[in-house]
């Protein structure tokens, strides 16, 4: 069985070491308003537990969740009991998803409430990486709301170990890295506009997580080309990338993605 155990790498200069592939968990908590090509059924607890166990066995230690992912955090708390030190947990603040709709609140009061709530839901005393779940107005969110200042306070208090943004613009990503630890960036075969954020991270020892690595399941290329392999070759060909988050709930897809990432990183064809 191909695994990623020997391929963990630093998340910038945070002191955290992460697997090159992370497990996204939106599909554990929400099946409304998600941009996937096909519908899916939210896994039950037994299926979710098996998926998490498989991920650990495959060498994945990075798990990505958010308040906006429906009941993802609430489910992960009990599912990860007794395993806290085995995982690097990423969560977010700013976006809430209720009754099928997203709404945003980046105020200091909500940010603190959100993080404290995530700690309770996840049954943990600290969140390894806390990202601002941006609404797309990255610069305004970072400059005008106080969210980053609040996250800096929470880091000093030890409730979070690192912070950054899951943003949508180059300018926001650059500012987030200048003042914080990490940025989650869209970077795939069809969208590479945020590459300057990756370049900055590579030269300043900052962390980069890739979202939509496989274009939310829409990756496709010319006949005879493996789109998953090509996607990971692009992503890991950039020295700024720490890890790519993939949100599969299919065991076969998870194993195949791990094998592909391992092959790419080891330079095997």
Per the CB < 8 A criterion, the answer to whether 124 and 156 are in contact is no
Three-state secondary structure call for residue 113: helix
**pLDDT single digits (tens) 43-73:** 999 999 999 999 999 999 999 999 999 999 9
Q: Delineate the domains of the chain, giving CATH numbers in brackets.
A: 9-216+237-259 (3.20.20.100)
Active site members: 69
Whether residue 106 has pLDDT greater than 80? yes
**pLDDT single digits (tens) 167-224:** 999 999 999 999 999 999 999 999 999 999 999 999 999 999 999 999 866 666 667 7
Q: Which two tokens stand for residue 231?
A: 């996607």
Per the CB < 8 A criterion, the answer to whether 223 and 266 are in contact is no
pTM of the model: 0.95
**Alpha helices by DSSP H, the chain:** 26-29, 45-57, 72-79, 108-121, 138-144, 147-156, 170-179, 195-204, 227-236, 251-265
Environment class of residue 241 by beta-carbon count within 10 Å: exposed (0-12), middle (13-18) or buried (19+)? buried
**pLDDT single digits (tens) 132-169:** 999 999 999 999 999 999 999 999 999 999 999 999 99
Residue 207: CA atoms inside 13 Å, Cβ hemisphere, count? 31
User: What's the whole-number mean pLDDT along residues 87-113?
Assistant: 96
Cβ within 8 Å of residue 43, ≥6 positions away: 27, 28, 51, 249
Question: Cα separation of 153 and 47, whole Å?
Answer: 37
DSSP class of residue 127 equals B
Neighbours of 116 (CB within 10 A): 12
pLDDT at position 40: 83
Whether residue 100 has pLDDT greater than 90? no
231 forms bridges with which residues in the sheet? none
pLDDT at position 36: 65
């Amino acid at each position: 069985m191909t695994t990623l155990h020997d391929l963990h790498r630093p998340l910038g200069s945070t002191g955290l070491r992460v697997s090159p592939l992370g497990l996204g968990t939106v599909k554990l908590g929400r099946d409304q308003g998600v941009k996937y090509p096909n519908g899916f059924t939210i896994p039950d607890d037994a299926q979710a537990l098996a998926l998490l166990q498989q991920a650990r066995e495959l060498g994945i230690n990075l798990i990505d969740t958010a308040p906006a992912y429906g009941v993802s955090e609430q489910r992960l708390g009990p599912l990860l009991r007794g395993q806290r030190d085995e995982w690097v947990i990423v969560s977010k603040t700013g976006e809430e998803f209720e009754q099928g709709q997203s709404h945003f609140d980046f105020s200091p009061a909500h940010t603190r409430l959100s993080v404290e709530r995530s700690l309770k839901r996840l049954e943990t005393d600290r969140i390894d990486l806390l990202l601002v779940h941006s609404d797309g107005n990255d610069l305004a969110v970072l400059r005008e709301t106080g969210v980053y200042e609040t996250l800096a306070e929470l880091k000093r208090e030890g409730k979070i170990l690192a912070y950054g943004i899951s943003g949508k613009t180059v300018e926001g990503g650059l500012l987030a890295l200048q003042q914080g630890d990490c940025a989650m960036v869209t970077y795939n075969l069809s969208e590479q506009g945020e590459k300057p954020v990756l370049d900055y991270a590579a030269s300043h020892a900052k962390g980069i997580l890739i979202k939509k690595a496989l274009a939310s399941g829409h990756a496709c290329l010319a006949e005879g080309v493996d789109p998953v392999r090509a996607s990971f070759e692009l992503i890991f060909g950039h020295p700024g990338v720490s890890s790519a988050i993939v949100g599969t709930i299919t065991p076969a897809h998870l194993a195949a993605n791990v094998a592909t990432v391992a092959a790419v990183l080891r330079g095997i064809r």
